[in-house]
Every structure is written in structure tokens, then in C-alpha cells.
Amino acid sequence: MEKEQAQEKINQLSSELREHNHNYYVLSSPTISDYDFDMQLKELQGLEKQYPDFADVNSPTKRVGGDITKNFETVVHKRPMLSLGNSYSIDDIADFEIRIAKSIDHELEYVCELKYDGVAISIIYENGELAKAVTRGDGTKGEDVTANVKTIRSIPLKLKGGDYPSEFEIRGEIFFPRKNFDKLNKLREEAGEPLYMNPRNTASGTMKSKDSAVVAERGLDCFLYFVYADEKQVNTHYDSLLKAKDWGFKVPYIEKNFVCRTTTIGGIKEFIEYWDKERFNLDFDIDGIVIKVNSYHQQEELGFTAKSPRWAIAYKFKAEQVSTTLEAITYQIGRTGAITPVANLTPVLLAGTTIKRASLHNADQIEKLDIRVGDTVFVEKGGEIIPKIISVDLQKRSTDAVKTKYIECCPECQTPLVRKEEQAHHYCPNDTGCPPQIKGRIEHYISRKAMNIDGLGEETVELLVNEGLIANMADLYDLSYNQLFALEGFKEKKVRNILDGIEISKTVPFARVLFALGIRYVGETVAKKLTKHFKSIDFLMRSTMIDLISVDEIGERIADSVIEYFADEANIELVNRLRGNGLKFELTKEQLEGASERLQGLTFVITGSFENHSRNDLKKIIEDNGGKNTGSVSKKTSYVLVGEAAGSKLAKAQELGVNIIDENELIEMVG
């Protein structure tokens, strides 16, 4: 065969196989027998092997897998993959609808969809071809699993039509169809191998396989349902689903009622009630319903919180329940000193996993349930993730069951526990001498999202604490080569890795260092807000309650915790020791570049859409220059920043006489 003929045949076979694949896996209407499909695929593989120059990176032959991934590269998401707020009752959904209606003065339409119990995925397409696929990860960054995703036959490698954006992202959920999951377990049973517990966890593990051929064999599937593009071609989420379907994506089946549109809470309720019953007839698992505002413009106006969009919410179906016996109550001590009572149960299978323990939360919960050792208890998974005891079967209680008395002293260091009136938990106040607290704070400090110190793990931290080499995080920087090398099992390479990791941690930015300190209620997002506002640890340490609560989204509980932390001389000494070891406790010149105090003390509300900047860009400009963003207009609002199609917030500003500006005036204000 001549080269030109070969290239033409490869193109022809590729096009035909892509169409057959779409018909079979997306439309569920095959137009060719499995045998004929396999013969065409085999012919294409042979031609590509003979003429490798004509082989396409997104050829249908990629579906069979075979690429080996040694390490999954970390990829930062262009847009964070946020989680949804959860609700468990129709009343919660009604409250959500009321909040939305108060913020939007135009007619509202909602889209209801199934909430697939699988693995979230983000896929980038460039010029109509699959370019990269990334897992959700921590929401900010995930892992590149492109080779594995290419083997999932319902995900198009090349798109149909031609009106798609030159570059865009589409998100969805990869899941394990039950029939394929059951088939896999049957094969494992026949081979004498342990069975997988549930489809969701198995799908997640499969996507981490380094051999894409393994993924190809297992028959994963995927629904894709949310398109992100710099220039939107449609105005609603529902219309974007129809567009994505035209491009060849397997979107949730509208004709099978997987998606519906409604303008009323009654319509939402009807969709929820229907699928609460019908979900058991599906060939895949769902754990709830997602409700979204349909209009893209209204989504943008509603915006986001630090963790989730304000324009969407998830309704979770009632969790599966089982009964078992409470064998004992033990107590755990966290790094902050909080005591958590734990129920030790007779093992029982619940929602695909064996449950042996469940949290009892605090003393009030034990009192409320009147739970006693030996009781028969009902257990469910809160949000179908964390096991919890919801009630006691009093009819089965033994007559000699002893009422539970909450412990008075720390089970680790025997220090009397304390409990403030406004707090739910008891605490061990011996923060510098209680072993679990010492180890817990250091483990938090070295963790990936904090200082990310390579070479150190929980076992190493426990050994170093037990050997008396460290008692807090500052002691890590005093460790010497000789001290570590003298420990059993510590070879030169391991010691060097630990010391190098400790040294590299000195380059970690201020926000992560603040998070790593482990101040109660100061998570990643709060740490970023505090460092951006105060700019150095010295200003933060001297801050008052008024200073702190003036920071966007910082309330009294967080403020109290920060003030209490820096009121302790031991914590001040710790910070000074860390600073003396070269850690960053202020923003760098690069981070401060473009920042000012020109908007200090001013409060802004943003409404509408803008020509030259995104809403997030405008919010950043305001915050970088000392201003504060809020979501609602009041007499205390300094300025309302108005774009096109501004709604009720503009009317409210005019009613109250609040200053109204456009994006150009804001840019002039900050110079």
C-alpha cells in the first residue's frame, strides 16, 4: 500500500470507528456488530504500527490503553473545582430558593440533575481534541490522568460539529456501572482474590492505575455536564448541555428525566421524590440531586463563597441505616486538645463498607442519646461518608445498663478537662505536655497543605517526640545530622531527605506558615485572608477584635481564637523561634506589588457583568487595595460597582443613596 493510500485509509477507519464508538457508548444504538468493530480496530492498529507517522495522539486505538504513567503530574486548575453545599431536607432547599430570590429580582429558573456517586473530572479540549484530563484533587490542583481517561469510551477524543470554542473545559463524573463492577468482582472471586467493596471507591482507585490498559478493561463510564469557556456561546446551563451533546459528549439523558427545568420549589420537590424511589433502578449509583440556577448571568451575580457556589446546592438522599451493638466508648485527643468520644461497635456492613467505629461528637450528644455500653444502636453515614449513631433501640436495652459518665481528665496526660460555656467540646489544657497534642500539631505542621516537609511522616514524628528530640515544630529546625543518623533505621539518604525537606520549608509563603501553626479555626482560606489583610505576623499579633472582624468573612469565633493564641507567651516564643530560623512571616515584595491602602475602610458591592474585567478580578483589585467586598447593599456600603444588566442591588443602592460607580471609575480610584 502506498503511503498516501495508507494515510487515507487510517483517516477513514479513524472517522468510522469514532462514529461507531459514539453510537454505541453515548447513544446506546450500535450500527455495527462487535466483531466488525474489532476487525476495523485491528486493521487500524496494524496500519498505525506500519506507518507510525500517520498515527494520531487521539486515535481510536488509544481506547485499548497500554500507556504507562510512572508519576501523575500535579496540575493547577484554571478555575477551582469547588464542592457544593449539602442539604438533607426539602426545608433546606426552600431556604436556598428564598435566599436566591432575595438576591435576584428577575424571574428564576432552576435545573435539577442527578448527583452521581463517582470521581469528579475536568477535561480540557483544544481545537476539538482532548488535550488534558485532571482529577479534582484538593479543588485547587489535581493529577493529570489523561492516558487513563482516553480509555473511557464514552468520552470523545475528537469532537463532532465545529461550533465549539477553540479551547474550553468540561467537567463531569466518572463512575463504575454496577454490571461492570459486579463482573469484576465475579472474576476476582473466581481467582480467589478479595472483593472490592463499592463502585465509587473502585472507580477512584482505577483512575490512579499506572497502566491505562487496566482502566480500559474495567469499563468505566462518564457523564459530562458543565462547560467552562472564556466566551460563553449560550446563556444558560441547560442550553450548554444541549450544545455539549451536539459536540459528541455523553451528557445526562434529558429524555430519561436525568435533567429537568423548573421555576418552582414544587417542581424541585417532585424531581427529588421521583429519583429517591427510582434511583435503585439505575445501573449506577447516585447519592442525591443537584439544583442549579440556570442563567449564567444570574450565576455570576450570585457568585461564590470560599468553598462553594451560591447558585447551586446538593440535596442528599437519606442515608442507609443499620443496627449493631455499642461495645465500648473511648476518647480521642486532637491537636487542638479537643476531646472526641468514639463509639466502638460490633462490625457491621453499611453502604458497602464495614463499620467498626463512629463519632459520638461530644458530651451533649451522649447525653441527648442517653447512649450506654451494651446498647443496640442505629448507625448511618452522615452525608453517606462519616458513620454516626442516630438513636438507641431502648426496647433492647439491658436492665443493668449503666448511664455513661463523661470523663473528667485527659486519658493521655490525666490533666483535668475544661469546657467553656459557648463551646461544645471538652478540652485538655495541657497543650505543651499532652503527647497527642504535641504530635498532632507537628503532624499538621509538616502536612502537604501546610509546610509539606518531605521525609517526615506520622511514624517519624512519633519517634522523634518519643526520643525527646522534638517537642514542638520549632525543634525541627534544631535537628542535626548526627542526632537523626543515630536513630535505628535512619540511613544517610533518609536523613538527608529529612534535613533537605526542613530546609526547603523555609521558602514556604506566609499564608501557609500561618495555616501550619494550627491556630483553631484558621484554615487555609482564613489564613490567606488574614495574611493578605495584615501583611505581617507582627500586625496580626497586635490585632484587636475590631481589627480582625473588619476582615472579610472573619467572625468573632475566629477572632477570639487568634487573640487567645497570641496571648499565650509560649506561642509568641514559638513564632519568634521559627522566624529566627528563617521562616516567612510577612508578605514578600512581589506579593505586595500592586497592593495599596487606597480603599482602606471602604466597602463594595459588585453587581452585573463587566466588559474589561471579570467579577473575581474586580474583587481582587478591591481587596489588594485594602477594600472589603460584601454581598448585600446597606447604608454602610461605600460603593456599588455596577456593570451591565445590574439587578436589584442597583435599585437598592439608588433607594439608599449609595455611591454608584463603574469599573473604569474603580480603576481610577486605585491609580
* Fold (topology level) of 510-592: DNA polymerase; domain 1 (1.10.150)
Q: Which has the higher per-residue pLDDT, 243 or 2? A: 243
486 HSE (CA, 13 A, CB side)? 8
Q: How confident is the model at residue 580 (pLDDT cuts 50, 70, 90)?
A: very high
At a CB cut-off of 8 Å and minimum separation 6, what does 261 contact?
109, 110, 111, 112, 238, 294
Q: How is residue 605 written as a grid cell? A: 458591592
553-587 burial by CB neighbour count: b if 16+ within 10 A, else e? ebeeebbbbbeebbeeeebeebbebbbebebbbbb
* Fold (topology level) of 3-64: Helix Hairpins (1.10.287)
Average pLDDT (345-366) is 86
Say if residues 19 and 32 touch (Cβ distance below 8 Å). Answer: no
Per DSSP, helices labelled H in 335-466 are: 363-369, 435-446, 458-466
Q: How is residue 410 written as a grid cell? A: 485527659
The mean predicted confidence, pLDDT, of the chain is 88
pLDDT at 107: 87
Q: How confident is the model at residue 34 (pLDDT cuts 50, 70, 90)?
A: low
In the chain, what percentage of residues exceed pLDDT 90? 55
82 HSE (CA, 13 A, CB side)? 17
pLDDT at 237: 96
pTM of the model: 0.55
Say if residues 578 and 477 touch (Cβ distance below 8 Å). Answer: yes
Q: Say which CATH architecture domain 603-669 belongs to.
A: 3-Layer(aba) Sandwich (3.40)
Please tell me which residue in 62, 115, 388, 628 is annotated as part of the active site: 115
Q: Examine the residue annotation and report whether 307 is marked as an active-site residue of this protein.
A: no
Q: Among the listed ranges 22-26, 84-88, 509-513, 666-670, which one has the minimum average pLDDT value?
A: 22-26
Q: Which of 20-24, 46-50, 382-386 has the highest mean pLDDT?
A: 46-50
pLDDT at 384: 46
Residue count of the chain = 671
User: Where are the domain boundaries for CATH 3.40.50.10190 in the chain?
Assistant: 603-669
pLDDT at 487: 93
Strands lying side by side in the sheet with 312-316:
86-87, 312-316, 286-293, 110-116, 259-262
pLDDT at 93: 93
Say if residues 291 and 268 touch (Cβ distance below 8 Å). Answer: yes
Is pLDDT at 601 greater than 50 in this prediction? Answer: yes
- Residue in this structure with the C-alpha cell 507567651, named with its chain if needed: 569
* 3-class DSSP state of 198: coil
pLDDT at 423: 78
In the chain, what percentage of residues exceed pLDDT 70? 96
Distance CA(79)–CA(511), nearest Å, equals 20
Q: Which has the higher per-residue pLDDT, 51 or 453? A: 453
Is pLDDT at 294 greater than 90 in this prediction? Answer: yes
Domain over 86-316 is classified CATH 3.30.470.30 = yes
Average pLDDT (242-247) is 94
Say if residues 104 and 301 touch (Cβ distance below 8 Å). Answer: yes
* 3-class DSSP state of 60: helix
Q: How confident is the model at residue 26 (pLDDT cuts 50, 70, 90)?
A: low
Distance CA(402)–CA(607), nearest Å, equals 60
pLDDT at 331: 95
Q: How confident is the model at residue 275 (pLDDT cuts 50, 70, 90)?
A: very high
Q: Among the listed ranges 61-65, 264-268, 599-603, which one has the minimum average pLDDT value?
A: 61-65
Across-strand partners of 387? 381
pLDDT at 503: 95
User: Where are the domain boundaries for CATH 3.30.470.30 in the chain?
Assistant: 86-316
Average pLDDT (525-532) is 88
Q: How confident is the model at residue 646 (pLDDT cuts 50, 70, 90)?
A: confident
Q: How confident is the model at residue 68 (pLDDT cuts 50, 70, 90)?
A: low
User: Where are the domain boundaries for CATH 1.10.287.610 in the chain?
Assistant: 3-64
At a CB cut-off of 8 Å and minimum separation 6, what does 395 contact?
none
Q: What is the pLDDT of residues 195-214, one digit of tens each?
A: 787 888 889 989 988 888 88
Domain over 321-396 is classified CATH 3.50.50.60 = no
pLDDT at 581: 95
Q: How is residue 218 written as a grid cell? A: 474495567
pLDDT at 44: 84
Q: How confident is the model at residue 354 (pLDDT cuts 50, 70, 90)?
A: confident
- Range 544-552, long-range pairs (CB < 8 A, 24+ positions): 550/628, 551/628, 552/623, 552/628, 552/629, 552/630
Q: How confident is the model at residue 383 (pLDDT cuts 50, 70, 90)?
A: very low
Say if residues 434 and 415 touch (Cβ distance below 8 Å). Answer: yes
User: Where are the domain boundaries for CATH 1.10.150.20 in the chain?
Assistant: 435-507, 510-592
Q: Which has the higher per-residue pLDDT, 285 or 60? A: 285
Q: What is the pLDDT of residues 123-137, one digit of tens each?
A: 999 999 999 999 998
Q: What is the pLDDT of residues 624-640, one digit of tens each?
A: 787 888 877 888 899 99
Q: What is the pLDDT of residues 392-447, one digit of tens each?
A: 999 999 999 999 999 999 999 999 999 987 778 899 999 888 999 999 999 999 99
User: Where are the domain boundaries for CATH 2.40.50.140 in the chain?
Assistant: 321-396
pLDDT at 411: 94
pLDDT at 443: 93
* Fold (topology level) of 435-507: DNA polymerase; domain 1 (1.10.150)
Q: How confident is the model at residue 544 (pLDDT cuts 50, 70, 90)?
A: very high
Q: How is residue 241 written as a grid cell? A: 448541555
Task: Tell me the C-alpha to C-alpha distance, in Å, between residue 555 and each of 463, 528, 546, 610, 636.
Answer: 38, 15, 10, 31, 18
Q: How is residue 418 written as a grid cell? A: 475544661
Is pLDDT at 62 greater than 80 in this prediction? Answer: no
Q: Among the listed ranges 8-22, 56-70, 464-478, 516-530, which one has the minimum average pLDDT value?
A: 56-70
Residue 339 C-alpha from the chain's centroid = 26
Is pLDDT at 529 greater than 90 in this prediction? Answer: no
Q: How confident is the model at residue 77 (pLDDT cuts 50, 70, 90)?
A: very high
DSSP E strands, 119-166? 119-126, 129-135, 141-143
